[in-house]
Amino acid sequence: MPTTITPNLWFDTQALEAAELYCEVFPNSSIDFVSHYTEVDGDKAGQVLTVDFVLDGNRFTGINGGPMFQFDEAVSFLVECADQAEVDRYWDALIADGGQESQCGWLKDRFGLSWQIVPKSMDTVMRSGDAAAIDRVMRAMYGMKKLDVAALDAAAAG
């Protein structure tokens, strides 16, 4: 019997807001279930507790657990993009309204969750075994925030 692993993302109070944003950004996405705190939880009764959602076929759960835990770069989600237009679309959507650019294709969205927005061609180069091409691509990438697909492809080609 297969095991299902579902990432569970801890939010202060914004799990539903985050799931709604992510479902707008990624195709084939939906919010499947929202649970609420009950009377046993006192002042939180009626507020959103968990949100089960799917992003492009991948299941997630968001929990509104309070402010004691924060996201950091130790966990990130990698999004492989077909081309520059897709890199731009995901990048712009995820840094909107308070997100932060980082470097080498990394960003944090407005909820503090880290994402890596990279072209699929990066994986091809990294697996090629061509040490010189890999070195050129890495050197080019180190100078970027949002990745420039044409520049990376040119670096790979030499």
Residue at 52: amino acid letter: D
Half-sphere exposure of 60 (CA within 13 A, CB side): 22
Nearest Cα to Cα of residue 64 among 9, 5, 6: 9
pTM over the 0.85 mark = yes
Question: Does the pLDDT value for residue 2 go beyond 80?
Answer: no
Question: Does the pLDDT value for residue 1 go beyond 80?
Answer: no
Half-sphere exposure of 9 (CA within 13 A, CB side): 26
Helix axes 15-25, 84-95, angle to 10 degrees: 160
Q: What is the pLDDT of residues 85-139, one digit of tens each?
A: 999 999 999 999 999 999 999 999 999 999 999 999 999 999 999 999 999 999 9
User: CA 3, CA 23: separation in Å to the nearest integer?
Assistant: 24
Q: Which domains does the chain carry?
A: 1-67 (3.10.180.10), 71-158 (3.10.180.10)
Q: What is the pLDDT of residue 98?
A: 97
